[in-house]
Every structure is written in structure tokens, then in C-alpha cells.
């Protein structure tokens, strides 16, 4: 299981950021060749990211590269150059099932050419159009390469012709639809960024709302947002203690040959046990278990 | 490869290097202005020259304004400029 | 010969004299006699007030080779030093020694005076701009003496040197020399450094652009110390006076460093009720103060005092009830000046009270935590804040060595690598503050604890913070930047770095 509490966007044409990407503590970094790079600099950004990835060691941080949308003149060259670097994943913007078909074929071709094992290069899908939301299940189903779906709320709100607000009510359908599809097909659901970088309370509130709906992480557009988001998506001391108690009670029950058992007067069934296991897994990855 | 037209790549931001290539007949010539001239000046020129040679360029005038770019950035910006200038 | 800090220091330096070698930061424990002071008797009929610089200068016992002093509370907006030195130059004096607590770019007129040997020696705690470059280029006849803020008080209180005439900028004064720094169009706040000039110079000239009716009712320096009061149109440029203001850094890497620092302090055991705290005015240091404010509020911690160099950010912390008092040697911005004027718990302190190693107890001795910057730090935790990475003078200890020596926890905050320059070096280009007084280095790539602090190593052994050895940080930096060429210097010594006790910790050579 990969921890993706935060995924931090980094402008692909900025050396200062590329060489410090792993110092901010984000679980994943996304080197952006799309929105953060001017049209005249797409070629320069591609080369810079290539050289950075060949030179820098990003440690445990997941490295994702956001290519340009397939509708742009840059995408095919992006895929051709970036896939060969074997990033942890390629992030496909404006993701749809049709675009995934094209991307799949390209990645297969490149893997063959480079002698990589088939399926090595993973994909993250950025769903940010009405059509993309409607077809998210098909998008994910189209390929085993997809490990995560990210929600792009800004572009989506524009496509829906609605105002983008802080409380994000306009994204409710998209959020729940994406989460559902992700859970059905067992991939990560990552929530849209919170764009007011000075409002930490708003960020925490938005992150909590998304967590409640089933997202396991959130996109970040500024390193300052990382601590706040991590606090929301990390299990609390209480949650960890409860999980430990559930597992301890389960062991007890098994010793006594009992199939079902109760804790604090409530029956503990499989969903609760699975949730406890997952909580402890995450806690261990973050280093919260002594 | 030869440079056919002037080309530039990079920015004047910290940690970056701004390079301008101009076609020339007199071999590789590098004019460098760097914020770390004393500490890395010679090394930076060497990295530029090696990258150009790697790309098959034997003759070009390079004007570079360096704001403390690491080697990988220097190579990337030279490559960018060469490809733009061919 | 190499001193105990492994710096090459001769026994005698031409233009400076015999060298007192550094023997450790606590080594000079002998008492020192304070210098004799000669008061004068004036009659009730004598007037101190002058409005013509010329006429006043005619009265003063000026001579070749004299020592004149200035304080730097008007920072890069100061007019006084230039005004006075131009007059001294006009009158044909030579070989003047300037004891300015700091020198800024606005003092560039001194460069020509240095070249013409009007000025042949300089004492300062901080030098930046064209004068610093000129000294690095070897233009000053005698080696400059770069002391600490506390060191300036020590030098003149002990009588090691004597100031012949002090020219003291006075934002507000009455005709008899009762002075404050909080009123007037050129207000600068606390006058901490000026106390040395007022108390120890043979002749003290107050220069003001805001003459008030006698008596001035707000007094920081009183009439018994002042010989003359000169009224001029302007003693400084208000915009330049508050030019010491820095903003909290917006650089995400700097913010990361600040974040790690605040977390370190929280875990260190020093964050508790009654704690005392000081930060430098750098962008990252101020970000640490901001983070610490949040933590203190969250944990409902009330400190005893914050000291400095006071900025509006520290004043805010006081206003939020996080400190009982502020000790202030100089104000960096208008908020600090206002607080100094209005708030009785905002206490101005002289440079001596702040940081002199040779009195019955300086405020730095009561400091728990201090956050400082560095241009370089080496694997022995020695710190350079005097020269830049190109070997040219661009600063000086100021209160760096003083606070490092007095505080219980001294933390250096810096980006590890910026613009291909690593802050961690094998050996610093210039040694300002000895490593035995520096405890922690915090960078975006990890935190290093000085091995001398076995107590902290023990306390943090199970910490989840990214702890590294300073050698590891050096390697990480070297892998990113490559191995740099060493800066080359000539043999000529252009400046002497004096520790707070008057020993020499390092020398600065002429740049090639």
C-alpha cells in the first residue's frame, strides 16, 4: 500500500524546486509539465525534468510527472520522453477512457522498446471534466496501470459552468462518484487542491470533508499545506489505540475459538477489523507506531 | 549538429542559468558570468563544453549568466538551447 | 601559529599590535578595572546649544590620529557620520580612527577618505557595502577591528581605547542634552549602542533634528553626559532608518527550515513557562518566531523575556501575552519604535547590559534560546557571519558571538544549499563565532547537533526529526554542488576578528 496523504505540485521548469522536491515531506511530488510551464518553455521543462530525474535521488518520495493533455501538441513527445525515465507514475490530465486507450498503447510500445517489464509504468488519472467524472469507472477499468485518481476541482467547476467555492458543495457529486469508482476498483482517491494558501483552517476543514467522503489524500499546491493535510489524513492517537485494542481483542477471541466478539459492548465484525488493520498499516508507515 | 540560428534557454532565477548560443566559426567559445565564479567558474565552463561536445557541436559562441545552477541544470539548458538553435 | 580554533594567527599584527590568543569562550575570568572618567565643571552660564556645525567644530580639540565615534541606530538612513567626517576631512585632519558601532552602504563617502588616509583605522561590529569592499581590497591603512556588540562596550569601558569625541545622533534632545530615540521625525527607538559613546567619550556631541523645550520629558541618555548639543535640519532619512526591517521569508525552503526549528525547540525541553528567547532579523529567523508564537499560544506558555534587535513580530508576541518583558538594544521597524515609546515592559538596554562579557552580568547570560543565521558553518560548528562566500566582508558578528556564548541553546538556521553555495564547509572562510558556543544547525535536509552537547544527543536519540551529523550534511551538500575551489587571498591582513573578550579568533586577508 502506498501512502499518498499529500501530492505536491512542483513546476517542471524550476530548478530550485526540482532539486529540493523531497525536502517538503510530501508523500508524492508531481513534476508539472502542464499548467505550471509556459507554452514556449515546454521543451525546456521536459529536458530539465529529464536531467533532474537522472541526477537527483528523491528517496522514499513518489515521483509523478504530469504530462500535457492528449489534445495538446505536446503530449506525445511528453509521453515518449518521460516514460523512458521510469517515473513512479505518469499523471494524465483531463483523463477519459478514450485518452487512456491512447496512453496505454504508447506506454506498452515504450516499455517494449526500452526492455521494461510490461506494466511497469503506472498511471494516475486526473479527472477534471464533466465527461471525465461520468466515465471515471471506465477510465480506471481500462488499465491495471492506474493506481490513483486525482480530482481537479478548478477545471471541473469551469466545465460545469459553476462558481468554485471554499465549501466545495459544487463538487459533491464529482467527489462521491470518483470515490465510489476508486473503491470499487481498489485504487486511491485523491482530493482536489485547496487554493487559498493562507487559510489553514479552511484547508483542514476541506481535507476533513474529503476524508469523510472516502478520499485518502489531497493535492497540495504549496509546501506550507503539507503539515495541515497530513494531520487530517493521519490516524489520531485515539484511532490507533482503538485499532490496537480491536486487534488484541481479535487475538483473544481466536485463542478461545470464538468467531465473533465484542468490544466496548459493540460487535466487532470484518469491516471493523479491516479498518483497524488499515489504520495500523498507515500508522506504521508514518512511524506513529512505537 | 550545427547551430543555425541564435537560441536561448533558461532564466535568471536563483539556481538557474540563462544561456544564449550564437552560431560561430571559431570553435567553442564561452563567456560566463556567474555568482559562484570563484568557486565553480572553471568547472561550469567545463560542463558546458562537455555537453556541447556530447551533442556534436564543435563551434558556437556561448554567453551564459549563471545564478548558481547545479550541473544537471547547466546540461539541461545547454541541451535546450542547442535543440532550439538547430 | 595556529590557535585552538585551528586558525593561523600571528603573535603580532602590523597596525594592530600584540595578539591576545583565544583560549576558549569562558577563559577570561579576571576582573577588569573600568576606565577612569574625567568630568568637567561647567557653570550655569555655559550654553551647550549650537546650530552651526562649523562653529562647533572650531571649539572641539580635534587633532590628527584622534578617535571619533558614532552609533548606528539610524542604520542605512544615517546622515551624521558623513556630515561630521566631511567636515573633519575639509579641515585637513589625517589618520582618524572611526569607532562606529556599524557601517552601512550609505557611508560610501568613507571610501575616498580611506584612500586619502584621512581615515586609517576602523572599529565596528558590522560593516557592509562599499566600505566593506574597500577594506577587503586592502585600502584601509591599518587592519580594521571587527568586534562584537558586547565587545565595543568592553573595549571602551576598560580603557583599552579611548574615544576623543563622540558624535551622537539624537532623534530628540533638549538644549542641555537630555536625549531619547523614540520621538521626532528621525525616531529610531532604543539607543542601546549610544550609551557607550555617551558614557565613555572624552567629549560628547549630541546632534539632533528635533530640539524640544527643556526639559525633554522622555530621557534615555541624560544631560550629565553631554557636552554639546548641535541642531541640524536632518540627522537621517526615516525610510533608511527602518531599513533593518526584514519580512518573514516566503521561500518554501526557508519556511521548511523554520518549521523544523520550531519543532526542535518544542522537543528540546527549553520551551516552557519562563523561557527567554531572541532571534536575529533574518527572514528565516522571523519565520521561526512566527511558528513559535503559534506553538506557545497552543500550549499556553508564557515566557519571561524576548530580547534583541526588536521587530514588530516580537512586539506582537509580547502583545499576545507570550512574554512578560522585552529587552531592546535597537529597534528594527516602526512597530518596535512605537512599543519602545509606549510600553514600560519594553525595556531599553545599553550594549553593555546586553552583551558585555566584562560586567556583573549581561542579558545574554539569561537567554535560553537564540536563533541566528550564518553565511558558513564548518564541521566543528564554527560560524562565519563576517565574510561572504567570495571572501569579501559583508557583515560582522554584531551580537552573534555574544548571544551564542550566553544562551543555553544556540540554533543556526539556514538553507543547506542555495545557488550552488553550501552553508556547511570543511572550514569556514572567516571564523566569527567559535563552535563550542554553537549547539544546533537546522537545514531543510536535516538537523545537526554539536557532539559537545551530549545532553541534547541523549534527549533526541529517539526523535522523529531528521537528525544528521554535520559531516553527513556536508556530504549531501557536496554531492549536490560538487567540490568548490577555495577562495584565494593575499597574505596581507586587512581586518582582525576580535572575540567578545578581546582575543583574536581570526584574521581576514586581502582578496585577490
Return per-residue pLDDT of chain A as tens, 290 residues: 789 999 999 999 999 999 999 999 999 999 999 999 999 999 999 999 999 999 999 999 999 999 999 999 999 999 999 999 999 999 999 999 999 999 999 999 999 999 999 999 999 999 999 999 999 999 999 999 999 999 999 999 999 999 999 999 999 999 999 999 999 999 999 999 999 999 999 999 999 999 999 999 999 999 999 999 999 999 988 999 999 999 998 888 888 888 778 888 888 888 889 989 989 998 988 888 76
- Within a domain: residue B21? yes
* C248: helix, strand or coil: coil
Do residue C210 and residue C253 come from a single domain?
no
**C-alpha to C-alpha distance for C14 and C24, rounded to whole angstroms:** 25
Query: Which residue ranges form the domains of chain A, and what is each CATH number?
Result: 6-233 (3.20.20.60), 237-286 (no CATH)
The alpha carbon of residue C423 is apart from the nearest alpha carbon of chain B, in Å, by: 13
Q: State which residue of chain B sits closest to A42, comparing Cα positions.
A: B80
C71-120 confidence digits (pLDDT tens): 999 999 999 999 999 999 999 999 999 999 999 999 999 999 999 999 99
CB contact under 8 A, C256 and A223: yes
Q: Is C463 within 8 Å of chain B by CB?
A: no
Please tell me the total count of domains within chain B: 1
Q: State which residue of chain B sits closest to C480, comparing Cα positions.
A: B70
CB atoms within 10 A of CB A76: 14
Share above pLDDT 70 across residues of chain B, in percent, rounded to a whole number:
100
A1-45 confidence digits (pLDDT tens): 789 999 999 999 999 999 999 999 999 999 999 999 999 999 999
**Of the residues C190, C218, C241, the one at which a domain ends:** C241
- Within a domain: residue C217? yes
Is the peptide bond between C215 and the residue preceding it cis, with omega within 30 degrees of 0?
yes
- Within a domain: residue B2? no
Residues of chain A in Cβ contact (below 8 Å) with chain B: 13-16, 19, 43-44, 47-48, 50-52, 54-56
Q: Using only C-alpha atoms, what is the Rg of chain A?
A: 20
Do residue C190 and residue C115 come from a single domain?
yes
The alpha carbon of residue B71 is apart from the nearest alpha carbon of chain A, in Å, by: 9
- Within a domain: residue B1? no
CB contact under 8 A, C420 and B43: no
CB contact under 8 A, B70 and A50: no
**C-alpha to C-alpha distance for A64 and A28, rounded to whole angstroms:** 7
pLDDT at C243: 65
- Within a domain: residue C466? yes
Do residue C252 and residue C304 come from a single domain?
yes
pLDDT at A44: 97
By residue range, what is the domain housing residue C423? 245-487
Q: For testing the chain C interface, which of A10, A14, A17, A20 should be mutated: the one with the most C CBs within 10 Å?
A: A20
pLDDT at C36: 78
pLDDT at A8: 98
Query: Would you say residue B41 has pLDDT above 70?
Result: yes
Burial C355-384 (b: 16+ CB within 10 A, else e): bbbbbeebbbeebbbbbbbbbbbbbbbbbb
Please report residues of B whose CB lies closer than 8 A to that of A55: 70-72
C223-254 confidence digits (pLDDT tens): 999 999 999 999 999 988 886 667 899 899 99
Residues 6+ apart with CB under 8 A from B57: B1, B2, B3, B28, B82
pLDDT at A76: 97
Do residue C81 and residue C211 come from a single domain?
yes
- Within a domain: residue B31? yes
Please tell me the total count of domains within chain C: 2
B42-52 confidence digits (pLDDT tens): 999 999 999 99
- Within a domain: residue C61? yes
pLDDT at C44: 83
By residue range, what is the domain housing residue B45? 7-85
- Within a domain: residue C509? no
Do residue C359 and residue C394 come from a single domain?
yes
Neighbour subunits, A (≥3 Cβ pairs < 8 A): B, C
Query: Would you say residue B9 has pLDDT above 70?
Result: yes
- Within a domain: residue B70? yes
Q: State which residue of chain A sits closest to C263, comparing Cα positions.
A: A227
- Within a domain: residue C1? no
Reduced 3-state DSSP string for chain A: CCCCCEEEEEECCCHHHHCCHHHHCCCEEEEECCCCCCHHHHHHHHHHHHHHHHHCCCCCCEEEEECCCCCCCCHHHHHHHHHCCCCCEEEECCCCHHHHHHHHHHHHHHHHHHCCCCCCCEEEEEECCHHHHHCHHHHHHCCCCEEEEEECHHHHHHHCCCCCCCCCHHHHHHHHHHHHHHHHCCCEEEECCCCCCCCHHHHHHHHHHHHHHCCCEEEECCHHHHHHHHHHHCCCHHHHHHHHHHHHHHHHHHHCCCCCEEECCEEECHHHHHHHHHHHHHHHHHCCCC
Do residue C226 and residue C322 come from a single domain?
no
- Within a domain: residue C501? no
CB contact under 8 A, C444 and A222: no
Q: Residue holding cell 591576545?
A: C20
The closest CB to that of C445, out of A16, A23, A227, belongs to: A23
**C-alpha to C-alpha distance for C482 and C233, rounded to whole angstroms:** 54
The alpha carbon of residue B42 is apart from the nearest alpha carbon of chain A, in Å, by: 21
pLDDT at C246: 72
Burial class (CB in 10 A: 0-12, 13-18, 19+), A217: buried
CB contact under 8 A, C420 and B42: no
CB atoms within 10 A of CB C304: 14
Q: Would you say the C-alpha torsion C426, C430, C435, C441 has a positive or negative sign?
A: negative
- Within a domain: residue B64? yes
Q: For testing the chain B interface, which of C252, C388, C419 should be mutated: the one with the most B CBs within 10 Å?
A: C419
pLDDT at C119: 98
- CA–CA–CA angle C17, C18, C19 (5° rounding): 115
- Within a domain: residue B61? yes
**C-alpha to C-alpha distance for C170 and C175, rounded to whole angstroms:** 12
The alpha carbon of residue B75 is apart from the nearest alpha carbon of chain A, in Å, by: 8
ipTM of the complex: 0.97
| C455: CATH | 3.40.1080.10
- CA–CA–CA angle C330, C147, C430 (5° rounding): 115
Q: State which residue of chain B sits closest to C477, comparing Cα positions.
A: B70
**C-alpha to C-alpha distance for B9 and B78, rounded to whole angstroms:** 7
Q: In chain C, which stretches have pLDDT less than 50?
A: none
- Within a domain: residue B81? yes
The alpha carbon of residue C415 is apart from the nearest alpha carbon of chain A, in Å, by: 11
The closest CB to that of C484, out of B14, B40, B70, belongs to: B40
- Within a domain: residue C42? no
Do residue C262 and residue C181 come from a single domain?
no
CB contact under 8 A, B71 and C482: yes
Do residue C197 and residue C296 come from a single domain?
no
A189-202 confidence digits (pLDDT tens): 999 999 999 999 99
Q: State which residue of chain C sits closest to B13, comparing Cα positions.
A: C419
pLDDT at C244: 60
C-beta of residue C409 within 8 angstroms of C-beta of residue C448: no
Do residue C260 and residue C334 come from a single domain?
yes
Q: State which residue of chain C sits closest to A286, comparing Cα positions.
A: C464
CB contact under 8 A, A223 and C480: no
**Of the residues C241, C261, C283, the one at which a domain ends:** C241
The alpha carbon of residue A46 is apart from the nearest alpha carbon of chain B, in Å, by: 9
Burial C73-84 (b: 16+ CB within 10 A, else e): bbbbbbbbbbbb
Residues 6+ apart with CB under 8 A from A228: A200, A203, A204, A207
| B58: CATH | 3.30.230.10
C150-184 confidence digits (pLDDT tens): 999 999 999 999 999 999 999 999 999 999 999 99
**Sheet of strand B7-9: strand arrangement:** B7-9, B17-23, B60-66, B28-34
Neighbour subunits, B (≥3 Cβ pairs < 8 A): A, C
Q: Residue holding cell 520551551?
A: C271
The alpha carbon of residue B11 is apart from the nearest alpha carbon of chain C, in Å, by: 13
Do residue C120 and residue C210 come from a single domain?
yes
User: What nine digits make up the cell of B14?
Assistant: 536563483
C-beta of residue C87 within 8 angstroms of C-beta of residue C250: no
Do residue C167 and residue C199 come from a single domain?
yes
Strands of C349-501 (E only): list them: 369-372, 376-378, 383-384, 409-413, 417-418, 421-422, 424-425, 440-443, 446-449, 467-468, 489-498
pLDDT at B49: 97
Please report residues of A whose CB lies closer than 8 A to that of C259: 227
Assign B17 a pLDDT band (cuts: 50, 70, 90). very high
Amino acid at each position: 500500500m502506498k501512502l499518498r496523504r499529500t501530492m505536491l505540485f512542483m513546476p517542471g521548469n524550476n530548478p530550485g524546486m526540482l532539486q529540493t522536491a523531497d525536502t517538503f515531506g510530501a508523500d508524492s511530488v508531481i513534476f508539472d509539465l502542464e499548467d505550471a510551464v509556459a507554452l514556449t518553455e515546454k521543451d525546456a521543462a521536459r529536458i530539465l525534468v529529464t536531467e533532474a530525474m537522472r541526477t537527483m535521488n528523491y528517496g522514499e518520495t513518489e515521483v509523478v510527472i504530469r504530462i500535457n493533455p492528449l489534445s495538446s501538441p505536446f503530449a506525445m513527445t511528453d509521453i515518449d520522453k518521460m516514460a523512458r525515465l521510469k517515473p513512479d507514475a505518469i499523471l494524465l490530465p483531463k483523463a477519459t477512457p478514450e485518452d487512456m486507450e491512447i496512453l496505454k498503447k504508447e506506454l506498452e510500445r515504450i516499455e517494449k522498446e526500452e526492455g521494461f517489464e510490461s506494466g511497469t509504468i503506472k498511471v494516475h488519472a486526473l479527472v477534471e471534466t464533466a465527461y471525465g467524472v461520468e466515465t471515471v469507472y471506465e477510465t480506471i477499468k481500462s488499465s491495471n496501470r492506474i493506481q490513483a485518481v486525482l480530482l481537479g476541482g478548478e477545471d471541473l467547476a469551469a466545465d460545469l459552468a459553476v462558481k468554485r467555492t471554499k465549501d466545495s458543495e459544487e463538487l459533491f457529486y464529482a467527489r462521491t462518484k470518483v470515490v465510489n469508482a476508486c473503491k470499487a476498483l481498489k485504487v486511491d482517491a485523491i482530493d482536489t487542491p485547496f487554493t487559498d494558501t493562507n487559510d489553514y483552517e479552511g484547508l483542514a476543514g476541506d481535507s476533513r470533508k474529503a476524508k469523510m467522503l472516502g478520499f485518502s489524500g489531497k493535492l497540495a499546491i504549496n509546501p506550507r499545506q503539507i503539515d495541515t493535510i497530513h494531520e487530517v489524513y493521519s490516524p489520531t492517537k485515539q484511532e490507533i489505540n482503538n485499532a490496537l485494542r480491536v486487534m488484541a481483542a481479535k487475538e483473544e477471541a481466536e485463542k478461545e475459538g470464538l468467531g465473533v466478539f465484542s468490544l466496548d459492548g459493540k460487535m466487532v465484525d470484518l469491516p471493523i477489523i479491516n479498518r483497524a488493520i488499515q489504520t495500523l498499516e498507515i500508522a506504521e508507515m508514518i512511524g506513529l507506531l512505537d | 549538429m550545427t547551430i543555425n540560428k541564435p537560441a536561448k534557454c533558461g532564466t535568471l532565477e536563483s539556481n538557474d542559468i540563462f544561456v544564449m548560443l550564437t552560431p560561430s566559426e571559431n570553435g567553442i567559445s564561452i563567456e560566463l558570468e556567474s555568482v559562484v565564479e570563484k568557486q565553480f567558474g572553471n568547472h561550469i565552463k567545463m560542463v558546458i563544453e562537455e555537453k556541447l561536445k556530447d551533442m556534436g557541436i564543435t563551434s558556437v559562441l556561448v554567453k551564459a549568466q549563471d545564478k548558481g545552477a547545479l550541473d544537471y541544470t547547466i546540461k539541461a539548458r545547454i541541451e535546450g538551447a542547442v535543440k532550439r538553435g538547430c | 601559529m595556529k590557535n585552538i580554533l585551528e586558525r593561523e594567527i600571528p603573535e603580532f599584527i602590523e597596525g594592530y599590535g600584540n595578539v591576545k590568543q583565544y583560549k576558549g569562550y569562558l577563559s577570561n575570568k579576571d576582573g577588569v578595572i573600568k576606565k577612569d572618567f574625567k568630568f568637567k565643571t561647567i557653570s550655569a552660564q555655559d550654553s551647550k546649544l549650537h546650530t552651526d556645525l562649523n562653529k562647533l567644530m572650531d571649539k572641539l580639540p580635534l587633532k590628527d590620529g584622534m578617535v571619533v565615534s558614532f552609533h548606528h541606530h539610524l542604520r542605512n538612513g544615517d546622515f551624521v557620520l558623513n556630515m561630521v567626517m566631511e567636515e573633519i576631512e575639509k579641515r585637513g585632519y589625517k589618520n582618524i580612527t572611526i569607532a562606529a558601532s556599524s557601517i552601512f552602504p550609505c557611508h560610501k563617502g568613507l571610501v575616498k577618505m580611506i584612500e586619502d588616509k584621512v581615515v586609517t583605522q576602523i572599529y565596528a561590529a558590522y560593516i557592509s557595502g562599499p566600505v566593506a569592499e574597500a577594506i577587503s581590497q586592502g585600502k584601509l591603512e591599518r587592519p580594521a577591528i571587527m568586534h562584537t556588540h558586547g565587545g565595543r562596550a568592553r573595549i571602551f569601558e576598560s580603557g583599552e581605547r579611548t574615544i576623543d569625541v563622540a558624535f551622537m545622533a539624537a532623534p530628540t534632545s533638549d538644549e542641555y542634552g537630555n536625549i531619547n530615540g523614540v520621538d521626532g521625525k528621525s525616531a529610531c527607538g532604543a539607543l542601546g549602542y549610544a550609551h557607550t559613546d555617551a558614557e565613555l567619550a572624552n567629549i560628547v556631541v549630541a546632534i539632533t533634528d528635533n530640539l524640544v523645550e527643556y526639559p525633554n520629558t522622555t530621557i534615555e541618555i541624560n544631560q550629565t553626559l553631554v557636552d554639546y548639543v548641535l541642531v541640524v535640519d536632518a540627522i537621517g532619512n526615516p525610510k533608511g532608518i527602518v531599513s533593518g526591517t526584514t519580512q518573514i521569508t516566503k521561500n518554501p525552503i526557508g519556511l521548511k527550515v523554520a518549521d523544523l526549528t520550531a519543532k526542535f525547540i518544542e522537543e528540546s525541553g527549553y520551551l516552557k513557562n519562563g523561557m527567554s528567547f531572541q532571534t536575529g532579523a533574518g527572514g528565516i529567523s522571523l519565520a521561526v518566531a512566527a511558528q513559535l508564537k503559534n506553538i506557545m499560544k497552543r500550549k499556553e506558555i508564557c515566557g519571561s523575556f524576548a530580547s534583541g534587535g526588536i521587530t514588530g513580530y516580537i512586539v506582537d508576541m509580547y502583545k499576545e501575552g507570550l512574554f512578560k518583558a522585552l529587552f531592546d538594544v535597537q529597534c528594527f521597524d516602526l512597530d518596535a519604535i512605537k512599543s519602545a515609546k509606549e510600553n514600560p515592559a519594553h525595556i531599553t538596554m545599553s550594549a553593555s547590559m546586553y552583551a558585555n562579557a566584562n560586567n556583573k552580568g549581561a542579558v545574554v547570560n539569561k537567554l535560553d534560546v537564540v536563533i541566528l543565521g550564518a553565511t558558513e558553518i564548518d564541521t566543528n560548528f564554527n560560524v562565519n557571519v563576517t565574510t561572504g562566500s567570495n571572501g569579501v566582508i559583508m557583515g560582522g558578528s554584531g551580537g552573534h558571538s555574544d548571544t551564542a556564548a550566553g544562551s543555553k541553546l544556540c540554533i543556526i538556521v539556514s538553507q543547506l544549499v542555495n545557488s550552488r553555495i553550501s552553508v556547511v564547509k570543511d572550514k569556514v572562510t572567516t571564523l566569527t563565532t567559535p563552535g563550542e558556543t554553537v549547539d544546533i544547525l537546522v537545514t531543510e535536509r536535516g538537523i545537526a547537533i554539536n557532539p559537545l552537547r551530549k545532553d541534547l544527543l541523549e534527549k533526541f536519540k529517539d526523535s522523529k526529526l531528521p537528525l544528521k551529523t554535520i559531516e553527513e550534511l556536508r556530504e549531501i551538500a557536496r554531492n549536490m554542488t560538487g567540490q568548490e575551489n577555495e577562495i584565494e587571498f593575499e597574505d596581507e591582513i586587512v581586518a582582525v576578528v576580535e572575540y567578545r573578550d578581546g582575543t583574536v579568533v581570526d584574521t581576514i586577508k586581502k582578496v585577490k
